[in-house]
Structure 1
C-alpha cells in the first residue's frame, strides 16, 4: 500500500509500499498553522457515514509532530491521535466500504531499520483500498490537509512487464492516454516513479514513451485546508473523487493482473 516515502509533489514509488520515511508522498512542505481556514458549520449526520470531518486538532497534531517527532510527544498526545485522526479516518472509510471495499489504515509507526532518518512516527495518516496488488484508492491526512489519490504504487517485474505491454499496445495504450487526459481536465495530477530513459526493449521515439517510463502510475488531488475537510461533506466528495478514478484503477488492475481490460465508458 502507498504513502510512506519522502515528500515529492507528484511521485510515489516502491518505497511507499514498504513503510519508508514518514513524510507524505504528495504534499510539499508549507507553513505552520497560520493560513488554515476555519471549520465550516457541521451538519447533523452525513449522506455517507457518521463521519463529521477532520478537526483543526488533527492538523495541529501533525504540525507539532513534525517539530517534535519523539516518543515523549507521542505518548503525551496519543489520545489526540486516536480521537482526532484514527477515529475519524475509520468513520470515513466505513462509509466508503460498501462501494469500494475494506480499507487498510496504515500504522503510525515508521519502519526505520534501513532508513537514514530514524524519527519514529509518520507525519501523515494514510489509508488504502486495494483492488489488486498495490493498486487501488488512497486518502491521506497530514499537517497540510487532505489528499485523495488512486492508481498503482508498485509492481513486480512480471506485472510491470504486463503494464508496459498494455501501454505499448495500439488499442490499450491510447485508452490509457484518453483516461488520463480526462482526469487531468478534472484537475487530477499524474505522478508515479519513472525511469529517466526508455525501459529495456522500447525505443525512445515510441509515441507513449513517457507512460512507458512509469514504474508506478498514480493520480492525486489535494483539498489542503479547504473548509470542506472539516465537514461531513468531505466523505461525499471523496466518494465522487474515487468514482472518477475508478476507470484508471480498473484498467491498471486488469493489466497488471494479466486480465485484458478494454474501457467501454
Structure 2
C-alpha cells in the first residue's frame, strides 16, 4: 500500500474522540480509525523505512494506572523510529494536524550525566549549541524536561547553562491541517523534517548513547 496522504476523515475521527472519549464512541468508529488513521500512517512509515529504519506504532490506548485522567483513548496517533536510542524520530497525527520531532524524551541518570559532560566539553558543547541554534532559527521548537536550578557541579554563569539544565532534549515542528496533509506532500514534509534532525540525533547517539541501567517498569 502506497501512502496517499492522511484523509480528512481521520481528523474528523479525532475531533469526535476529543468530544466523546468513551468505549462506545471508539467501538462505533473503530473502522474510521483503522482506515483513515492507522493504515495511512503505516503506509507512510513503510515508505520512510528504507532511509530511516522501521518504526514502532504506539497503541491507541492510554495507560491510566497512574493518572487522574481516566479517559481510555489517546487523542492522537504516534510512531517512533529508534525507540531505544538517545536520538529517535517521531511523527504524530491528531485533529490539530501533523507533528514531527526528534531527539530524546527520557534519559536515565547515567545518560543525563554523559549528556551534561558533553555539553560542558569545549568541543562537543559548542557543536550541540550550534545545532540547537540552527534548528531554532529554522522554526523548530527546542523542548524537553529541564531543571529550574543550576545542575549540581556546574556554574550559574556557564555559557551553555540552558542546555545543561535539560534532562531531555528534543526538537519539534507542528503543522495545522492544510491541503498538503491529504496527499503525498505529507510524506515529503516528514522526510525533509527527519533529515533536518540528523545532526542532532547523531550528536546524542555519539555523546549520550543507550543507558546501562535497567529501566524501571511502571
Distance 1:134 1:89 in 2: 23
* Structure 2 partner of 1:135: 87
Q: Secondary structure at the match of 1:155?
A: coil
* Structure 2 length-normalised TM: 0.93
* Structure 2 partner of 1:103: 55
Conserved 8 A contact 1:223-1:229: no
Q: Secondary structure at the match of 1:78?
A: helix
* Structure 1 length-normalised TM: 0.77
* Structure 2 partner of 1:121: 73
Q: Which stretches of structure 1, 4 residues or longer, exceed 2 Å deviation after superposition?
A: 131-135
Of the candidates 134, 148, 162, which is equivalent to residue 182 of structure 1?
134
Any unmatched runs of 5+ in structure 2?
Answer: 211-218
Of the candidates 137, 143, 149, which is equivalent to residue 191 of structure 1?
143
* Structure 2 partner of 1:8: none
Aligned length: 210
Of the candidates 163, 167, 189, which is equivalent to residue 211 of structure 1?
163
Task: Report the CA distance between 1:240 and its aligned residue.
Answer: 1.1
Q: Deviations over 1:87-146 (max 9, x none)?
A: 000000000000000000000001101110000000000100017435311000011000
Q: Secondary structure at the match of 2:14?
A: helix
Q: Deviations over 1:187-209 (max 9, x none)?
A: 11111111101111111111111
Of the candidates 249, 254, 257, which is equivalent to residue 206 of structure 2?
254
Q: Deviations over 1:145-203 (max 9, x none)?
A: 00111011111000110001000111100000111111122211111111101111111
**Which runs of structure 2 are paired with 1:16-55 in the superposition (5 Å)?**
50-55=2-7
* Structure 2 partner of 1:31: none
More helix by proportion, 1 or 2? 2
* Alpha-carbon distance change, 122 to 157 in structure 1, aligned in 2, over 3 angstroms: same
Distance 2:203 2:194 in 1: 14
**RMSD of equivalent CA atoms:** 1.3
Any unmatched runs of 5+ in structure 1?
Answer: 1-48, 259-265
Conserved 8 A contact 2:55-2:79: yes
Distance 2:51 2:175 in 1: 22
